[in-house]
Amino acid sequence: MKHTLKRLFSGFQSAPPWWRIVLWWELRRIPYNCFVSILAAGWLLLFTPDKYVVEPTLIVVLIVLNVLYTGLWVFETVCRLVDEKTPLDAGPTMFAAQLAFTVFLFILIVHPLS
């Protein structure tokens, strides 16, 4: 488990080409979406009276989170193309921030809507 988390948040040793940045992010999209799915399932189980109805708000939040996720690798790619001095840990830092933002969104925005 510890090794898996270390790999999930590992960065590059040297400046990568653009396609490796995209690959780095897309390889983490599956674990990220699993994490988001667990949050969404927990929210549905805890806060919706009818367990067979999917809240439209939740669907919108899930779409927005994935659009933002894609925006992060686009942002990192552009930053590296524009400035070669972009820190090598920019990807892992933004990935951790996206995870924190996801939890924040579920706690502060989705929960009060229930």
In a domain, residue 83? The reply is yes
Domain of residue 19 covers: 15-113
33: exposed, middle or buried (Cβ count in 10 Å: 0-12, 13-18, 19+): middle
Q: Which phi and psi (to 5°) does residue 51 adopt?
A: -70, -10
In a domain, residue 2? The reply is no
pTM: 0.83
pLDDT of residue 41: 84
User: Cα dihedral angle (31, 35, 37, 40), rounded to 10 degrees?
Assistant: -160
pLDDT of residue 29: 94
In a domain, residue 3? The reply is no
**Which residues of the chain fall below pLDDT 50?**
none
In a domain, residue 8? The reply is no
Number of domains in the chain: 1
In a domain, residue 27? The reply is yes
In a domain, residue 108? The reply is yes
